[in-house]
Amino acid sequence: MEKRPVVIIGSELAGYTVAREFRRLDAETPVVVLSRDHGGFYSKPMLSNAFAQKKTADSLLMKDAEKMAAEVKIEVRANSLVTAIDPKLKQLTVNGEPFPYGKLVLALGADTIKLPLQGDGADAVLSVNDLDDYRRFRTAIDGKKDIVILGAGLIGCEFANDLVGDGYKVQVIDLAPQLLGRLLPPESAAFIQQKLENEGIVFHLGTTTQKIEKAGERLRLALDNGKVILADVVLSAVGLKPRTSLAAAAGIKTNRGVVVNSFLQTNFEDIYALGDCAEVEGRVLPFVMPIMAAAKALALLLTGKPTAVHYPAMPVAVKTPICPTVVCPPESTADGEWKVEASVDGVKAVFHHTNGQLLGFALMGAAISEKAVLTAQMPALS
Amino acid sequence: MKVWQCLVCSFIYDEAKGDPEHGIVPGTKWDDVPFDWSCPDCGVAKADFEMVEVN
C-alpha cells in the first residue's frame, strides 16, 4: 500500500516552510499542500510595504503553485477548499470529495478582524490579508487620493507609511490614545507619530468610527468624537483572528487559536498546527520568525523526532521607513517598567523586570544600532 | 559589491556594509556569508534570499 501523505492545509509561509523543511529530512514520503486559492508563494509581510517599492500583485508573486511543487518536490493542489476533518478515519473533505491523510498539518492562517460598523458604506471597507486582497486594494486606490486606515497598529502604520506621498493623503483612526499601542511606551509612540505627521499623515486617536455612509463615489466616516471625514478608500487593519472553525468542528481543541503543545501537536496524535492559526503553549505569534522556528521543529516531529519548538527572543521590524523601528515587546504578563531615552535622532526604550532582567525593548531611528546587543540580553521565550 | 534582498521580509543585505552586528564584516561577498547565517529581521536561512540589484 502506498504510504499516506503528509497533508498540509495552507500555502502561505507556514505551510510551504514546513513542506520545505520536511523535504530536506525525508525525500520519500508524499507531501500534499492544499490551497484554497492560487497556491502561489509570495511574501505576506511585503504586502504592507510593496507600494513604495512599485511592486504590483503580479510582481509580488514569486513562484506559482506549479513552480513550488517542482522546487520543493511536493504536490500542490490549488483551489482546494477543505470543509471537514475526520480525525478517526484520518480523512479530509476537499471540494466535497474524501481525501485521506497520514499526518495532517494545519497552517490555516488568520482572518482580519472586522469592526462592527454601521452605515451603507460599511461593506465597502477593504482589508489586505493575502495577495488577492492586495490586488483588489491596488485596483481600488488607483487614481484616488484620500485613504483612511482603521487601526494604528503595526499593519496600519506600515500601510500609512507606504501610501503617503505619491499623491495619497492618508488618515489613520484608532481607539487607542497612541500608535502601536501594544508594542510601545507612550514616549516612543509620540516620536513615530511626529515623524509620520511630518510627512503628512493625519491621526485621529482615542476615537472610533461609528458609521460609514456612501457619499457619491466616496465614503463619509462619522467618528465618535463628532468629526466627519471623507475617503475614497477605507482600509481596515485592526488585527487578526486565528482561523479555528475547521479544527473546532472536528473536535480539535481551540482557544484563541488551534491549541498545540510545544511540539506543535494538537489533542489528536497525527494532527499538528503552526503559524497564524496556532496557539503554541498559550501564545499566538503571527510573525515570520516564530513561523520559521515552528516549521523546523514540526518537520523534525513529522520524521519521528519530536522536538520542542525553541523561540529565542524575536524582535520585529516595523516597516515604517519614515521612522525605522524595531520592537521586542515584553509579554503582557511581564512585571516591570519602561525606561525611555530620547534624542533628536532616535528613541531607545527598554523594559526591565524589577530584578533588573531585560524583558523587552523598542528602538527607533539611530537607536536601532543597539538591536543585536539588546536581543542577546533577552531571555528566550521557550 | 552586490545588494541582496530577503525573499520573505525585504531585509536588504548590502555586501559593502556586511552585517557587523552578527559577525559579518563590511565587504563580505554573499558567497562568503556562512550557510548558518539567517536574516536578522525574520530568520529565514541564507538559501531563501534572492538578489535584487547589482551596484
With a pLDDT cut of 70, the percent of chain A lying above it is 99
Any A CB within 8 A of B10 CB: yes
Compute the distance between CA of residue A235 and CA of residue A170 in angstroms, rounded to an integer.
Answer: 10
Q: Is the pLDDT of residue B55 over 50?
A: no
Under DSSP, the state recorded for A126 is B
The DSSP line for A92-125 is EEETTEEEE-SEEEE---EEEP----BSTTGGG-
Q: What is the pTM of this model?
A: 0.92
For residue range A337-364, what is the model confidence (pLDDT) as tens digits?
Answer: 999 999 989 999 999 999 999 999 999 9
The three three-digit cell numbers of residue A259, written as one number: 491549541
Quick one: pLDDT band at residue B50, thresholds 50, 70, 90?
low
Residues of A in contact with B44 (CB under 8 A): 288, 292
Distance of CA A113 to the CA centre of its chain: 12
- The average pLDDT across A308-321 equals 93
Residue whose C-alpha is closest to residue A205's, from A150, A135, A267: A150
Compute the distance between CA of residue A81 and CA of residue A36 in angstroms, rounded to an integer.
Answer: 5
Q: Is the pLDDT of residue B49 over 70?
A: no
- Rounded to two decimals, the ipTM of the complex is 0.77
The three three-digit cell numbers of residue A349, written as one number: 526604550
Q: Is the pLDDT of residue A375 over 70?
A: yes
Provide the pLDDT for residue A41.
94
- Nearest Cβ partner for B42 among A49, A289, A369: A289
Provide the pLDDT for residue B53.
59
Phi, psi of B33 (to 5 degrees): -70, 130
Distance of CA A206 to the CA centre of its chain: 24
Cβ neighbours, 10 Å, residue A265: 17
Compute the distance between CA of residue A185 and CA of residue A251 in angstroms, rounded to an integer.
Answer: 40
Q: Are strands A61-63 and A41-42 parallel, antiparallel or unpaired?
A: antiparallel
Compute the distance between CA of residue A147 and CA of residue A157 in angstroms, rounded to an integer.
Answer: 13
Provide the pLDDT for residue A165.
77
For residue range A59-95, what is the model confidence (pLDDT) as tens digits?
Answer: 999 899 999 999 999 999 999 999 999 999 999 999 9
Which residues, numbered 18 to 47 in chain B, qualify as contacts with chain A under a Cβ-Cβ cut-off of 8 Å? 21-22, 38, 40-44
Residues of A in contact with B40 (CB under 8 A): 371-372
